[in-house]
Structure formats: structure tokens, C-alpha cells
Chain A
Amino acid sequence: MAVAHPLDKYLRTDRIPTMWCPGCGLGIVMGTLLRAVDRRIKEGSLKRENVGFAGGIGCTARMTLYPLFDSAHVIHGRAIPFALAVKIVKPEMKMIVVGGDGDLAAIGGNHILHAIRRNADLLVVMVNNMIYGMTGGQVAPTTPRGLYTTTTPYGNPEREMNMIKLTAALGANYVARGSITHPQLLEQYLYKALGKRGLAFVEVISTCPELFGRHIGFRSPVDLYMEIRKRIVIKAKPSIEESDYSWEKGFVIGEFVDRDEPGFTDTIYEYLNKIRGGGVQ
């Protein structure tokens, strides 16, 4: 079979085109993520059969349908416990959790909180399009204050949830925010995140022209893309405080946390070996 795209070897090509709308940022995220995985596989720091994907429900979670790896498309918000269990049983796996802001910050909030507390060895990629896309454009915890959505027809009265601050506070080993408007930077973050032990969290600012842009006056994908791009602020060493965003202030992207604390898997195997070796009574 002729290879149409350099990433075809990592895709279930019979399922392409994807279900994502024209102008959606998710294709960029998936391409970027697979390029980062490809770099890791090529350099020998990751084995293909050890890469696994898990996602809950939402447009982002549907990313689990396309890569030609072990993949789980589970229930809303619950990809993290699924992926964590796979990692515990098979510590050689590199589990990548993909989810939207609704999937990970809202309904799955409790799990991300405790996965970070454990420093669970997972790469969690949260694509933040600031809206519930799949269900039709309802407000999300990440929706900037004041914006219109289908469930906040008079404007969103709530504060935006800043997942960077949360994940940094709870002790993730790696915390970065990228944007689909800057895929090369995003690829760097994802590549680095794939090499980390412990929990790596990468937030990706993305576009939903159909259900986010449409209600705030940017109906065309290009208009929304340009609008988001305008509001992205790139910083080499941003402080955690700078991660707070609003529609007016814009979005600081960069690496917020990079440390190397022991991951959960190493710790539990250390205990297990001690118990089995008779070191613990």
C-alpha cells in the first residue's frame, strides 16, 4: 500500500477521515502527539508495543479511535483510573490519556487530582477548547468568564478553571501549556513529556469553530484560529501565576514545571519487591 502520509504507519488508516469538524484543532493535536511518539520510538526510548492510549468521552477522547496502538475509549471522565491500572500491572507501558477540558477538568476532576497527588506515571494531554463540543456547545469549567455558550445564554458568570495551577500545586513532574496555533512548540512539550517519569500534564489550547467560535462571533475556523493565535503569549520560563487566563488577558504558553520526583509505579514496585523479598512483615 502506498504511504500517503508519514504518520500512516501509526494510524488505523481505514478509519480516516476522522469525525472531527473542518477547522477543529484536534487533528493538529493528534499529528503533533504522534510525531512526538515517532521521535521517541525512532531514538529507541519508547517501544511501539508499549504505547497505549486511553480517553473518556468527548471529541478529544475520540482520538483513541485512530492511532494504531493499544487503545481504550472508555466512559466520561474515567480514562485516568483505567490507564493507571494498566500502568501498574504492566509498568513497561507508556500510557497516554487524552481528554477534553470537560472530560478531565469537570467530570474526571477527582481522578486527575489524585493521579497527580500520586505522581502516577501517565502523560495526560488535556485539549482545552473551552467548551463542551460533542454535546453541542455547553459551558465548561474552563470557559472564560463572560463568554456566551448554549447553557450560558446571558454570558458565563463563572471563573475560569486553571488546570496548570492545579497540576503544579499537586506536584506533577511536568506541566506545560501549548497551543494548536504553535504546533512545533507543542511537539517539543509532548516529546519531553513522553520521556518523563511520574505525571506529565500538557494542556493544549485549541479551537472549536462550530460550537465555541460560533457563539462568540467567530463563525469561520480561520477567524477563530486567528483570534486564538492573537491571544497566545509565548514565554520561555513562565511563572505558575502567569498561567491564569481570561479571554481578555489571553493564554500564556510554555513549560511551567519540570522536575524529577519518583513516579508512583517505581514506588509501588519498590514496596512490592520488599514485601516479596521478606523485607516487610
Chain B
Amino acid sequence: MRVDYITGNTAIAEAAIVAGLKFYAGYPITPSSDIFEYLARELPKHGGHVIQFEDEIASINAVIGASWACAKAMTATSGPGFSLMLEAISLAVITETPLVIAYVMRTGPSTGVPTRAGQYDVLQATYGFHGGLVIPVLAASTPQEAYDLTVKAFNVSEMLRTPVVLLTDATIAHTYGKVIMRERGELEIIERIRPLTPPDKYKPYEPVKEHVPAMACFGDGYNVLVESLTHDERGYYAPRTDVQRKLMWRLYRKIVDSAPKLFDYSAIGLEGCDYAFISYGSTALSAQVAAKMLREKGYRVGTLKLRTLYPIYEDGIRKLVSSAKKVFVIENNVGLYYRELRAILRDKEVVSVPIIDLDLPQPQEIVEVVKQWL
């Protein structure tokens, strides 16, 4: 275990190395580039490769290729770069390729304010790619969480054979904080399931554990098929409704059914509260302070900071805020994740508190908005 005072971006890079990263492909983009730079210096010392590709499209496709050569692989980017990666994320979903994307959000749309924060891409992170499925999205609000959730992101990607998005923003990226870095041996490190059958019996898309198939890699002698077309368990193209149904539901279920297992959060004062604040990422820091200010004025306000945004564990969230009469969803955008929570908290009044700020929304501003509803 090491303790250091580092930024969120450095925490991600450090954690990735501990998780077993062996291949990083990237393209420079603010505010994610220092993850890339840090790894370029450190990862080769651990036998890993860091390559700057010609664009984000090449980067994500290279990450997919590296993962099929059985290297743990990742990239980091921000909104414009993630938009370019979306088509390949869809490929990673259908080919069930484990990989991690550190998505350091910045102010948008388009070039926006590249150096400053926002939470505008929270829905895009999981819904952006074509094909109508879901990928896990974990959200960090501090350098410590960035460290812990990076390890978790790799574990989830390996366990479920899926791309995983680790969501942060420009504020977390460049804020220093004390980080306790647990090392290999002090952490659970999950590796993908490798084939237990000989090559002639192996089917690359046949689930062996909870909807997840075993993964053979290039060069293993298994004649693997990485297939972007709708495929059966052998990886053969099969344009048939029965095959499509089976594939879609398996790809959907393997993520959604894992919601309880993946659920990660921290709660303050939710038991017996009248009002609950739900937030995530950097804005959660402001929300916690705002809640404290209101508690000091006598309001029973609890806070729920979500670290797993997708898949959504509906029962888990419902239970946590069960005593609240009103739920406030505080985020640095026009009120996006609010839509998700409104859909699952149907028996409550759910209020959107969208505060657009190039930095952290000020707690005082949150209090002023919320007070109109108390």
C-alpha cells in the first residue's frame, strides 16, 4: 500500500497499472491527456505498451485488438473523442471485448470549454453507441474514487466481457487529493474466463458462466472469430430472429442482471430523512456540502452519491431513499440523469436541480434552488 497526494488523472493511471494494464492506445485530448502522458512514462517499465494513434477511432479499435490478444487494454478521452469511438464501442459490445475507457468529461457541446468541467455526457456514456444495449458506467468524485473505480472498471470488464466507462470530469482530473493506493495482493483482481475446452470443442460466444462466454485469444490456437455481424455461439453470421433474440437478451441480461453486484455508492443521513439529494461525480461534493448546510438549518436532508451509474440498480436506489418525501437530483447539466431516476422513483416527487457551472456548482446555489421546494 502506498499513500500519495495526486490528481484524479494520475490516480487512474496508477490504478490501471495495478489492475494489470498492458496496452494503452490514445489520442491527445484535454482534459484526459495526462493519463496518457503518465502511462507513456510508467507503463513500459511494467512491460506494457503505450501508443499514440492517428485518431480516437484507431485508438479504440487498437484497444479492441489488444484485448483480443489477451492484454488488458484501455484508452482515455473526453466528449469529442468519445463521440468518435462510439461505433467501435458497439463492436466491443457485440464481440464481448473487455476494455476500459476513462471518460474525462469537459464542457460541451462540441469544443465547448475544453479545460473546464461539466456532466453533459452522462447519458452518452452508456447510450451513445448504436444497438440499444447498456455498458457499465462508474462515476468517480475524488482522486481516491478514481483509483478504486479504475480497478473496479477493469474487474467488471473482465468479469462480464464488456467495455466499461469510468466517468470523471475536468475538476476531478486535475484536483489533488490524498489517495491510498492498494497494490496487487491487497486488491481483488479479476481475469477473464479462459477456455476450458480444447480448440475443436470451443465456441467463442457460448456462455459458460452467468451469460458470459470464455475468451480465447489470437495466437492461442483456438481459431477465434471476432464477429461484428449477428452471430451464433460459434461466431457464425446468422441473420435469423431466433439468433438475434438470443444474442440481444444475453448481452442485455449479462449487464443488467449484474446491477446488484456492481452497485456502488456512499450515503450520508438517508435513514429517516425527509429529503434526499442524489448526485454523482464532482457535483456530489457540492451536494454533500449543501445538504450539510440545510441540516444545520434543521432540515432532514440525506445524500446519496452514486458510483455506479449503469446498470441502474433500481431496487437498491429505491430502498436507500425510501423515507424521503422528495428527491433532488443535482447535476452539472440540463438535468439528464434525473430522467433515469424519475423513471424508477415513480411514487415520489423527483426534482431536477440542474446547475450549469464551469467549475463545481456552489453549495450555496444548490441550497437556494432546493429551498424553494422544501
Chain A interface residues (CB < 8 Å from chain B): 15, 49-50, 52, 54, 57, 65, 68-75, 78, 80-86, 88-90, 92-93, 110-111, 113-114, 268, 271-272, 275-276
Contact = CB atoms under 8 A, between A and B. Distances in A.
Contact of A72 (B65, B66, B87, B237): B65
A90 B218 contact: yes
B69 A78 contact: no
Interface residues of B, number: 43
B58 A92 contact: no
B53 A114 contact: yes
B224 interface: yes
Q: Give the interface centre of A72, A73, A89, A272 by most chain B CB atoms within 10 Å.
A: A89
Interface stretch (B142-150, B225-233, B262-270, B288-296): B225-233
Contacts of B221: 49
Interface in B201-239: 218-229, 236-237
Interface of B: 22-23, 25, 44-45, 47, 49, 51, 53-55, 57-59, 61-66, 68-71, 73, 87-88, 90-91, 218-229, 236-237
Nearest to B53: A81
A275 B45 CA distance: 6
A75 B220 CA distance: 23
A85 B69 CA distance: 8
B219 A275 contact: no
Given A75-B61, A271-B44, 18 more contacts: A71-B223, A72-B68, A72-B226, A73-B226, A75-B90, A78-B57, A78-B61, A78-B88, A85-B73, A88-B51, A89-B66, A89-B70, A93-B219, A113-B54, A114-B53, A268-B49, A275-B44, A276-B47
Which of B55, B59, B62 is packed against the most chain A CB atoms within 10 Å? B62
Given A49-B219, A81-B58, A90-B219, A70 B53 contact: no
Contacts of A75: 61, 87-88, 90-91, 228
Contact of B91 (A68, A74, A110): A74
A80 B53 CA distance: 11
A81 B225 CA distance: 17
Nearest to A111: B58
B218 A110 contact: no
A236 B13 CA distance: 53
Contacts of B70: 89
A247 B69 CA distance: 42
A175 B23 CA distance: 30
A85 B72 CA distance: 12
Contacts of B222: 70
A83 B228 CA distance: 15
Nearest to A110: B54
- B interface, by DSSP: helix, strand, loop or mixed? mixed
Contacts of A86: 65-66, 68-69, 218-219
9 smallest beta-carbon distances between A and B, as pairs: A85-B65, A72-B226, A82-B65, A89-B69, A85-B62, A81-B61, A85-B66, A81-B58, A78-B61
Contacts of B25: 81, 85
A65 B68 contact: no
Nearest to A275: B44
B23 A88 contact: yes
Nearest to A117: B54
B66 A111 contact: no
B44 A73 contact: no
A70 B73 CA distance: 19
Contacts of A88: 23, 49, 51, 66
A134 B314 CA distance: 44
Identify which of A50, A74, A85, A86 gathers the most chain B CB atoms within 10 Å of its CB. A85
Contacts of B237: 65
A54 B225 CA distance: 10
B44 to A, nearest CB: 4
A265 B221 CA distance: 22
A49 B92 CA distance: 24
Contact of B236 (A15, A68, A80, A110): A15
Nearest to A274: B44
A213 B88 CA distance: 33
A259 to B, nearest CB: 23
26 contacts: A49-B220, A52-B219, A57-B228, A65-B225, A69-B223, A70-B220, A70-B222, A71-B223, A71-B226, A72-B68, A72-B225, A73-B228, A74-B64, A78-B57, A78-B88, A81-B53, A81-B58, A81-B62, A85-B66, A86-B68, A86-B219, A89-B71, A90-B219, A110-B54, A114-B54, A276-B47
Contacts of B63: 85
Contacts of B58: 78, 80-81, 110-111, 114
A49 B217 CA distance: 11
A50 B223 CA distance: 10
B65 A71 contact: no
B211 to A, nearest CB: 22
Nearest to A72: B226
A111 B90 CA distance: 19
Contacts of A52: 218-219
A66 B369 CA distance: 62
A73 B219 contact: no
A1 to B, nearest CB: 13
A167 to B, nearest CB: 16
B65 A272 contact: no
A75 B227 CA distance: 9
Contact of B59 (A80, A81, A113): A81
A111 B54 contact: yes
Contacts of B23: 85, 88-89
B44 A276 contact: yes
B326 to A, nearest CB: 45
B77 to A, nearest CB: 15
A89 B225 contact: no
Contacts of B236: 15, 65
A32 B221 CA distance: 23
